[in-house]
């Protein structure tokens, strides 16, 4: 019996075939991988661009911002304007369109018409009115905060009239500014006038001082009535204002009106009709007084 080989040829060929083993490499970090680095880099780039945009906006002029706004509001129109402009960006990065806009605005300002005389007068009057409002607030604050004047604040009336700021010191029952039939002010009346003068002396406006009485006739002296009495009281008030520091040249007018201009028309004998009125004159009112005296229309 012939000897048979241990392995048949087909078996030997199978034995000689290489065995390939595939190994799958697994990431140490599991499912994270390196994708987070890409996302972080994108985020950092976006933030850098955002802060760069904020910096550019913060350092842009209003004209440049208007040009940028114009592009986003109407890109097609902005591009048409850009085509008609020789160069939107000049040497060194200068924006020619913005420069031309600034030049045009400067030229427009140069050709603006100067204000007319009436417009200047109106502006001056508005400014003067504002100053009188501030003076009114200051005087009211003085009256309300002063312990000396607190007792008399209901007798000190302050308002703004067409000719200026008016301060009226009125009589009250059992507390008149002057004794009956007298032009000599009481001591507290002197204090009130001098305290007011401490503020009024600081303003450049001229002052008008007028005296007023009630309708009760004054018959104690012959040829001396309410007209003379009101004028003398106004002049006494003028002297106290000057003693309080007001320059004599600041007084433009001193007049007595008797009972011709009542405070309380319904009650002519009311003590409130007896009063001294001080008006901080507007410039126009002061000029009217001067022109009236000179006979200038």
pLDDT of residue 136: 96
Burial of 204 (0-12, 13-18, 19+ CB in 10 A): exposed
Computed over every residue of the chain, the mean pLDDT equals: 82
Q: Read off the pLDDT band of 30 (50, 70, 90).
A: low
Which residue segments constitute the domains of the chain, with CATH numbers given?
Answer: 118-294 (3.30.1330.60)
Question: What mean pLDDT is predicted for residues 90-103?
Answer: 55
| 47 band by pLDDT with thresholds 50, 70 and 90 | confident
pLDDT level of residue 88 (50, 70, 90 thresholds): very low
Asked if 14 contacts 8 with a C-beta cutoff of 8 angstroms, the reply is no
> In sequence order, which ranges of 159-270 are alpha helices (DSSP H)?
187-200, 226-243
Mean pLDDT of 196-203: 95
Span 271-284, pLDDT tens digits: 999 999 999 999 99
* Residue 29: predicted pLDDT: 53
pTM, entire model: 0.61
> Is 80 exceeded by the pLDDT of residue 159?
yes
- Judging by beta carbons within 10 Å of its beta carbon (0-12, 13-18, 19+), is residue 197 exposed, middle or buried? buried
167 contacts 156 by C-beta, under 8 angstroms: yes
Helix (H, G, I), strand (E, B) or coil at 95: strand
Q: Residue 87 has what pLDDT?
A: 47
pLDDT of residue 221: 84
pLDDT for residue 262 is more than 90: yes
Which residue carries 């006038």 as its tokens?
Answer: 193
């Amino acid at each position: 019996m012939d000897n048979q080989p241990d392995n048949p040829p087909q078996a030997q060929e199978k034995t000689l075939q290489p065995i390939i083993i595939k190994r799958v490499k697994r990431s140490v970090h599991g499912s994270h991988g390196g994708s987070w680095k890409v996302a972080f880099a994108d985020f950092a780039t976006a933030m850098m661009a955002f802060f760069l945009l904020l910096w550019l906006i913060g350092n842009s002029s209003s004209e440049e911002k208007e040009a940028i706004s114009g592009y986003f509001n109407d890109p097609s129109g902005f591009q048409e304007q850009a085509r008609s402009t020789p160069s939107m960006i000049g040497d060194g990065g200068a924006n020619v369109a913005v420069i031309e806009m600034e030049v045009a605005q400067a030229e427009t300002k140069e050709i603006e018409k100067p204000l007319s005389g009436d417009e200047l007068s109106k502006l001056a009057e508005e400014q003067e009115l504002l100053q009188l409002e501030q003076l009114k607030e200051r005087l009211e604050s003085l009256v309300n905060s002063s312990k000396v004047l607190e007792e008399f604040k209901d007798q000190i009336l302050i308002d703004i009239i067409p000719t200026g700021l008016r301060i009226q010191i009125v009589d009250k029952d059992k507390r008149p500014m002057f004794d009956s039939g007298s032009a000599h002010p009481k001591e507290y009346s002197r204090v009130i006038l001098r305290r007011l003068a401490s503020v009024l002396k600081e303003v450049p406006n001229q002052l008008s001082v007028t005296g007023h009485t009630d309708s009760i006739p004054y018959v104690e002296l012959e040829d001396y009535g309410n007209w003379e009495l009101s004028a003398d009281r106004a002049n006494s008030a003028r002297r106290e204002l000057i003693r309080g520091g007001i320059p004599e040249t600041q007084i433009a007018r001193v007049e007595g009106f008797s009972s011709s201009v009542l405070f309380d028309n319904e009650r002519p004998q009311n003590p409130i009709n007896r009063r001294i009125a001080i008006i901080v004159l507007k410039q126009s009112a002061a000029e009217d007084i001067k022109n009236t005296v000179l006979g200038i229309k």
